[in-house]
Structure 1
Amino acid sequence: MTRPNEPKDAYELILNAIDIGIYRPGDRLVESELAERFGVSRTPVREALQRLETQTMLTRDGRSLIVSSLDHNQMAELYEVRAELEGLAARLAAKHASVEEIKVLHAMIEEDRKYLNQPRELSIANRRFHRQIHLASRNRYLVQQLEMVHRSMALLAETSLAADGRGEMALAEHLAIVQAIEKGDAASAERRLKEHLSFAFETRLKADAGEIGAGDA
């Protein structure tokens, strides 16, 4: 069932469910079940599924649709694009962010500490933090592109924040980014954000290597 503040459009409902992890990579999406879950008719659900398939968020498996997953090369390509776009967002935020926006970013970091032992909740909070930087860039076209990139991030099976100690490190990296933005140091803000994503990517690679090793043992 939907809540009062949740989107009512079938496309947005399904996309949001993928984004927050209700449906994970490899999960099969059934038209009738989605219609019942979200309280909408099957026609808009069917149209939403077709749209998500076109956007490669869903993959056809015989006659069924499943949530897509990213292979190693796709993940590397996604992080490369994300680093460039987010680095630019941080650079622009250092030039344009208001005092109020910077205060909000600091508050987010402190608030997110309560999620250090809750990787899924910390991941959701992490997206909110990054989106706040995107908005502070004052560039609507950049924000649109980053929304597409972050949508694809939902196709990664696990959050890198689930790794031991990664949450604490990520918040420290967030603080360094915000401090650079606060100082108006565009070059430092861009560098700090790119480093932050580099560490996240490295964590994912190590986790994947560990999973492969465990499977082969």
Structure 2
Amino acid sequence: MSVYELIKEAIITGRYKQGERLTEEALSIDWNVSRTPIRSALKQLEFDGLVQPLKRGFFVRSFSKEDLRQIYDLRAMLESYGAGQAALHHQSEDLAAIQQANSQYEQTILDSSLPHEERISAVIAANTQFHDAVYRASRNQHIQELIAKVVVLPFIYRSFYWFGEEGLQQSLAAHKTIVAAIEERDGERAKAAMNEHIFKGRDYVLHYYEGGDKFG
């Protein structure tokens, strides 16, 4: 993994907490690299919306409840459109990638042998692979770029870490509905299924933000 990816993961998993100050000096010590790749990584993380600049250094961005709601509303609009386009424009290799990614997602969810943290990290990676495959199948580079900008932000709130088994199964069922709609080239159904899937994720995050217990 690059230094950028390592720091991003550290933010997403909570090693670097919201509001925490990050400096090139401290990060270079943390990751045992020079300041040059750290400086580049921080600029990319600023572009991603994960950190914000100070007079000296950066701090990990915090998100309000309204920020989260707006982010998920935007995700739903972009990702549902992308799923609809994937249903209409996918090629055979795109469909194979989507099916493979969802098969991996299912296997990961069903594997209870891993420790909780490792299992959830694997679920997040498999989920990302699935959604990326759907975006690519849209055959629209602009959609992919816009979604990539938005999608990372909600994972600050580590939504999968709050899913119980029922929640994971519901997520898998949603994926299967999306896959079936794409297979059938049913654009409207794919859009509706992805829209509901994203809003369900929003509900998990907002529930936790308000101090609720784990879902499922």
* TM-score range relative to shorter protein: 0.7 to 0.9
Rate the CA distance shift 1:55–1:106 in 2: closer, same or farther, 3 A.
closer
User: 1:119, 1:167 within 8 Å by CA — same for their partners in 2?
Assistant: no
Cα pair distance change 1:24/1:112, threshold 3 Å: farther
Residue in structure 2 matched with residue 188 of structure 1 by the alignment: 189
In structure 2, the partner of 1:197 is 198
Q: CA deviation at 1:37?
A: 3.6
Task: Report the Cα distance in structure 2 between the residues aligned to 1:172 and 1:23, rounded to whole angstroms.
Answer: 33
Match of residue 107, structure 1, among 79, 103, 109: 103
Partner of residue 3, structure 1: none
Aligned residue-pair number = 204
Change (3 A) 1:142 1:115: farther
Amino acid at match of 1:162: W
Aligned to 2:145, the other structure's residue is in SS state helix
Letter paired with 1:142: I
Residues 128 and 69 of structure 1, relative CA distance in 2, 3 Å threshold:
farther
Matches within 5 A, 1:82-161: 82-97=75-90, 98=92, 99-114=95-110, 118-154=119-155, 156-160=156-160
Residues 170-198 of structure 1 deviation map (CA, whole Å, 9 limit, x = unaligned): 11111111111111111000000000111
Looking at structure 2, the residues matched to 44 and 106 of structure 1 have their Cα atoms a distance apart, in angstroms, of: 34
1:162 equivalent in structure 2: 162
- How much is the aligned-residue C-alpha RMSD, in angstroms? 2.7
CA separation of 1:52 and 1:83: change in aligned 2, threshold 3 A: same
* 2:27 matches 1:26: no
Spell out the pairing of 1:55-74 with structure 2 (5 A cutoff): 56-60=49-53, 63=56, 65-74=58-67
CA offset at residue 34 of structure 1? 1.8
Q: Evaluate the alpha carbon distance shift between residue 161 and residue 133 of structure 1 in structure 2; reply closer, same or farther with a 3 A threshold.
A: farther
Unaligned runs of at least 5 residues, structure 2:
none
TM-score (norm 2): 0.80
- Work out whether residues 171 and 197 of structure 2, in 8 Å CA contact, stay in contact via their aligned partners in 1: yes
- TM-score, normalised relative to structure 1: 0.79
Could you tell me the percent identity over the aligned residues? 30
Amino acid at match of 2:157: A
Q: Kindly tell me: are residues 107 and 159 of structure 1, through their superposed partners in 2, closer, same or farther at Cα, counting changes over 3 Å?
A: same
For the residues of structure 2 that align with 1:105 and 1:50, how far apart are their CA atoms? Answer: 31
Question: Gaps (5+ residues) in structure 1?
Answer: 1-5, 213-217
Question: SS at the partner of 1:66?
Answer: strand
